[in-house]
Amino acid sequence: MRAAAEINLAAIGSNVLRLKAAAGDSELLAVVKADGYGHGMVPSARAARAAGAQYLGVALPEEAIAVRESGDGGPLMAWLYAPEDDLAECVERRVELSVASLDQLQQVVAAAVKVGQRAPIHLKVDTGLGRSGAMPDQWPSLVDAARGRQDRGVVEIVGVWSHLAAADEPESGTTRRQIEQFHAALDAVAEAGVEPRLRHLANSAGTLVHPDARFDMVRCGIAVYGLSPGPAVGTSASLGLIPAMRVTARVALVKRVPGGHGVSYGHRYRTRRSTQLALIPVGYADGVPRSGSGRIPLSIQGVRYSVSGTVAMDQIVVDVGDAKVRAGDDVQLFGPGSHGEPTADEWATACGTINYEIVTRLGPRLPRRHLGGAA
Q: Which residues are catalytic?
A: 33, 265
Q: Letter for the amino acid at 321?
A: G
Distance separating alpha carbons of residues 63 and 68, to the nearest angstrom: 9
Distance separating alpha carbons of residues 194 and 276, to the nearest angstrom: 69
Q: Write out 167-217 in H/E/C secondary structure.
A: CCCCCCCHHHHHHHHHHHHHHHHHHCCCCCCEEECCCHHHHHHCHHHCCCE
Q: How far is CA 85 from CA 80, 125, 139, 327, in A?
A: 10, 22, 24, 50
The strand pairing partners of 41, in sequence order, are none
Neighbours of 235 (CB within 10 A): 13
For the four alpha carbons of 41, 43, 44 and 50, in that order, the dihedral sign comes to positive
Distance separating alpha carbons of residues 344 and 361, to the nearest angstrom: 12
3-state secondary structure of 331: strand
3-state secondary structure of 157: strand
Q: Cα–Cα–Cα angle for 144, 147, 151, nearest 5°?
A: 140
Helices (H) and strands (E) in the chain, counts: 11, 19
142 in Cβ contact with 121 (< 8 Å) = no
Q: How far is CA 103 from CA 33, 79, 83, 130, 248, in A?
A: 24, 14, 8, 18, 46
Residue 40's φ and ψ, nearest 5 degrees, are 100, 110
Give the sheet arrangement for strand 316-321, strand by strand: 253-257, 275-280, 316-321
Q: For the purposes of burial, counting CB atoms within 10 Å of the CB of 108, is it exposed (0-12), middle (13-18) or buried (19 or more)?
A: buried
